[in-house]
A and B are shown apart, each in its own frame.
Chain A
């Protein structure tokens, strides 16, 4: 018999799987599906982390333009003052970050300055590992801080998928978990069932008295419902054509579908050569990356604002280290230490958090940190995700003040 596989598709495979998904206790499942449909967990907050790979030059991102030391040490990389987007009389955003100025003036952007940790590591791999594990004393530790959040959710409340990585590179170690599975997502099609379902037909009948089977059945109903909700949401087209913008567009779509994912992780700079690691001829490449970051994030914010979702979302950027104050003779900069982190969202207070680090009191040629990065993590965990920071970070850190009261 001729076996045309195209018919496999035409006949609507999904209908079979779906109809055969027998619901043994119809009321419970009906409630589950309805609850999902009415966004019962409407108040859940969402964290989107953006990793800037390679070591971002904080000094040419949030620029201390009025400080003579800046101009003196940056002979070719000094950004022209009249092109900068001024925050105040001392600091300004890079000329290509015009979108950040809007976010800043709208009160959606906080800049935490001088973030780092004691005895900073200057190897990309080890420094990144420290930011991922959130454990400078034990970088060999086998879970990432966000992986531990996913484990916590899974263990404590038998929760469904709570964290995903969206992007084209290997999953960053921050998401490595012991028990929870944190998936990599390239596109929403990685989260939706391939076939298109027919009408849901509930088959009645006696229930099976087996907890494990019942668990799988329930999760299957949830899986189908979530897949359908993601499919039902359309993506907004008004994003720039950068890779990061595409990833944030995917994230916005999943957020809008409201399927219970609380942590998203995206990345900028690791897909191409060098990324933020500009030891030579930094100016053009660094400007282009900052432009991608600013424009992609601004589009993401506008997208979320359309459905009043911005209040539920917090974006946090980080990089494994900043760079040296003095440029290195090749129109580039070398591995440094402290750098600023950006926090964007409807509930951030907006403005600067902490002073700009001194340009005369340096360590290995780089500005010193005054705010441990784990204070930022702890603030995000405790005040935003509602996840006990001590359980995740292993010790208590003083939180920062960058949210609206």
Chain B
């Protein structure tokens, strides 16, 4: 762990590339931290490879994992093609997260799903939600400008916001307002007049019979005054104008900071300024994400375990680490019961995060989900097997398998007395049934307070 707390405020240090040395060594702890943030946690092979290759090579790999990604996405796009419900899409998406060769892409797709927070409950056609999620995935690490232009014409988003009919005579603010308030500028950086004028610029765009339509006679060709600029603006101009405002990159960077680095502390303006400048230059999402993931700050105690795992991160993490697959139809339901129903964010502001994920009923349900996944009966069946995974990686006796599992799930970073107790329990129980004893160890490990932190 890098212990440079007093240096956090120094942007030059914070965003400089992390280079391991004797005082700040590269360890499995940091490798697992990287995989929790850039993906859904590491399995054993990923952890070992990351430790061997070092932080920068691992980040490079996470940003561009190689050529099999397109084939994987094509295959899954095909699976999703015949799905008839948003909950069906939810199941395939969870499966993608568990198996993907490009975890960062799925993690950023989830980020944008929370950011644009489109709820598919009222959509008549599942196709619209499928296309919406595919759009988020396609641009997840690309250009935010392209992403935003595409979403301004996305039927699922427009229908969800009630922005599917925008007439010249009655400009509809249902897209223009969240565009400014939630998707880009943030509260306090625009006026009601800006929203009204922007709505005029979007007049003419409709969703009719679930298809996007432009009706030229409904377009308002007049002059609009938006955020200090005047002109005969169209919707595309509005997007350009909000992207030119310095508040937009600042707001997005703060959100990315919270997503990747830390939920417990708001960063100062000085600290985020270099990232905001980088984003403002070309709106390249991957450039900012890359700077964050390679940085001193990312690998410091300011970031380590300073986020709460969302329900999706929690559930996918357990399954991915145990190299198994379960019914993600059931998993989608259970994860929804933990407060994160993919395809159905609660409001246009997306999901809560941080401490909001943790209340006593949600912790009880995380316990019960871990129990259901590991105990071997209905509804998940005997799909996850801690003992087999340990053996696969060469840990042939219960004692060493126990150490393996603690390393896999917690990188052994837990209270020494608790660790001793868990290992003693395995020693005592392994005489009768090693496999059950090790599944119990996994259950105990993933319900420890430390495991709920990302």
A residues adjacent to B (C-beta < 8 A): 1-5, 7-9, 11, 13, 16-17, 19-22, 140, 142-143, 154, 158, 160-161, 164, 176-181, 183-184, 190-195, 203-205, 208, 210-213, 215-217, 219-220, 222-223, 226-227, 259
Contact = CB atoms under 8 A, between A and B. Distances in A.
Interface stretch (B58-66, B250-258, B320-328, B438-446): B438-446
Interface in B421-454: 421-422, 425, 429, 432-437, 439-441, 443-444, 447-450, 452-453
Contacts of B439: 8
Interface stretch (B92-100, B187-195, B201-209, B361-369): B361-369
11 contacts: A8-B376, A19-B421, A22-B417, A161-B360, A179-B352, A181-B361, A183-B339, A191-B364, A212-B263, A222-B360, A259-B360
Contact of B349 (A11, A178, A203): A178
B289 to A, nearest CB: 23
Interface string B219-247: 00000000000000000000000000000
Contact of A176 (B346, B355, B357): B346
Contacts, number: 166
A204 B453 CA distance: 22
B443 A4 contact: no
Contact of A1 (B264, B421, B435): B435
Contacts of B361: 161, 164, 181, 183, 191, 223, 226
A1 B444 contact: no
Nearest to B338: A181
Nearest to A212: B264
A194 B449 contact: no
Contact of A213 (B305, B352, B377): B305
Contact of A9 (B360, B375, B452): B375
B367 A193 contact: yes
B428 to A, nearest CB: 10
Contacts of A212: 263-264, 305-306, 308, 355, 453
Interface in B298-336: 305-306, 308
Interface in B367-396: 367-368, 371-372, 374-377, 382, 385, 387
B418 interface: yes
A219 B359 contact: yes
B306 to A, nearest CB: 6
B142 interface: no
B362 A181 contact: yes
Contacts of A2: 433, 435
A177 B347 CA distance: 8
A17 B447 contact: yes
A176 B345 CA distance: 10
B25 interface: no
A16 B352 contact: no
B348 A142 contact: yes
